């Protein structure tokens, strides 16, 4: 049954549609899926038709996320009864083994699945997840590199590989990974933001100017992004305060962008109902950065 504080839906149709929405968006919402899905299966499962088994799978994964392994096992048992011999259910069984930290057994199962279906990206990603869970950083980097060569359209994998490189302080390689994602999806502000942050971390005039460009594009795509506006203020302040390196035009561009971004950042905080204390903190940060800008 729904937990205390969980929003109750007016009809089973609404509950079903909400679960569908979370699936389509790729939004886990694991605790809410678990509460809502359990109720829907128990109370209205017969009305779902074939979609019942999709909901079973969704709730199974949510149960694993919430470390409800006994409950997850119960749902996996029902799926196995309905679909004996299913490779999709076998993949879920491997995920259950992972949750129990039986990594060798899970990896053996995945290897068997790949013998029959070597192009199954989902199974490959589960093997990568095992490497990550066991802290096998080198193996994970190697595995992800091969994976993105075979499945170039998997943006999440490129970003995961970028994270691995960042953890190893290999920022140039991380930047390349995010470039691949931006080329495939140039209208997603978070990708531009991620790239700007990597370039800013790399440092140096050229990287900071590139970071400024990509922070600006992130703001163009998402005008109220506090993270992008803050990053833009930081990088513009750094460029404007450098004694050597940036051209006079670059410094003037940075000063102009800093003034605009700082005003915009304050406006966003105000429109979001920030407290007086929060606004004072933002003003203090910008005052500190503006000192660097004028020096």
- Alpha-carbon 27 to chain mean position: 10
- Whose CA is closest to 159, among 201, 191, 196? 191
Judge contact between 219 and 230, C-beta under 8 A.
no
CA–CA separation, 214 and 222 (whole Å): 12
- Please report the pLDDT score of residue 269 as a whole number: 95
Question: Do residues 120 and 113 make contact, with C-beta atoms less than 8 angstroms apart?
Answer: yes
Beta carbons within 10 angstroms of residue 28's beta carbon: 14
Q: List Cα–Cα distances, 129 to 87, 119, 142, 144, 251, in angstroms.
A: 18, 17, 13, 10, 45
User: Which residue, chain included where needed, has tokens 């999440």?
Assistant: 156
From CA 90, how far away is CA 97, in angstroms rounded? Answer: 11
Tokens linked to 142: 């190697």
244 by DSSP, 3-state: which?
A: coil
58 to 53, 84, 95, 186, 267: CA distances (angstroms) = 9, 18, 13, 31, 40
Domain architecture of the chain: domains with CATH: 1-84 (no CATH), 190-295 (1.25.40)
Are 32 and 6 spatial neighbours (Cβ–Cβ below 8 Å)? Answer: yes
The pTM is what?
0.82
Instruction: Report which of 212, 285, 198 is spatially closest to residue 252, judged by C-alpha positions.
Output: 212
Instruction: Say what the alpha-carbon torsion angle 266, 272, 273, 278 is, to the nearest 10 degrees.
Output: -50
Output the tens digit of pLDDT for each of the chain's 295 residues.
444 334 455 688 888 889 989 998 888 889 999 999 998 898 888 888 999 999 999 999 999 999 999 999 999 999 999 999 999 999 999 999 999 999 999 999 999 999 999 999 999 999 999 999 999 999 999 999 999 999 999 999 999 999 999 999 999 999 999 999 999 999 999 999 999 999 999 999 999 999 999 999 999 999 999 999 999 999 999 999 887 888 989 999 999 999 999 999 999 999 999 999 999 999 999 998 885 444 4
């Amino acid at each position: 049954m729904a937990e205390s504080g969980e929003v109750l839906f007016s009809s089973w149709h609404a509950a079903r549609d909400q679960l569908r929405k979370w699936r389509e968006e790729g939004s886990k919402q694991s605790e809410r899926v678990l509460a809502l899905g359990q109720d829907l299966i128990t109370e209205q499962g017969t009305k779902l038709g074939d979609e019942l088994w999709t909901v079973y799978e969704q709730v199974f994964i949510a149960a694993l996320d919430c470390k409800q392994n006994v409950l997850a096992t119960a749902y996996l048992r029902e799926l196995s009864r309905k679909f004996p011999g299913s490779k999709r259910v076998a993949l879920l069984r491997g995920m259950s083994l992972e949750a129990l930290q039986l990594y060798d057994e899970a990896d053996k199962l995945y290897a068997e699945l790949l013998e029959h279906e070597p192009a199954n990206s989902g199974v490959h990603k589960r093997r990568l997840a095992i490497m990550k869970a066991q802290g096998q950083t080198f193996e994970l980097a190697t595995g992800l590199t091969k994976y993105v060569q075979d499945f170039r359209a998997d943006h999440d994998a490129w970003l995961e590989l970028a994270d691995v490189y960042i953890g190893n302080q290999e920022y140039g390689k991380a930047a390349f990974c995010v470039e691949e994602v931006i080329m495939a999806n140039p209208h997603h502000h978070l990708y531009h933001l991620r790239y700007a942050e990597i370039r800013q971390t790399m440092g140096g005039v050229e990287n900071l100017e590139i970071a400024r460009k990509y922070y600006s594009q992130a703001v163009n795509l998402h005008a109220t992004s506090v993270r992008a506006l803050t990053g833009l203020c930081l990088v513009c302040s750094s460029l404007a305060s450098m004694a050597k390196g940036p051209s006079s035009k670059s410094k003037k561009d940075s000063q102009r962008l800093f003034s605009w971004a700082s005003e915009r950042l304050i406006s966003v905080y105000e429109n979001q109902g920030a407290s007086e204390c929060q606004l004072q903190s933002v003003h203090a940060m910008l005052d500190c950065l503006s000192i660097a800008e004028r020096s």
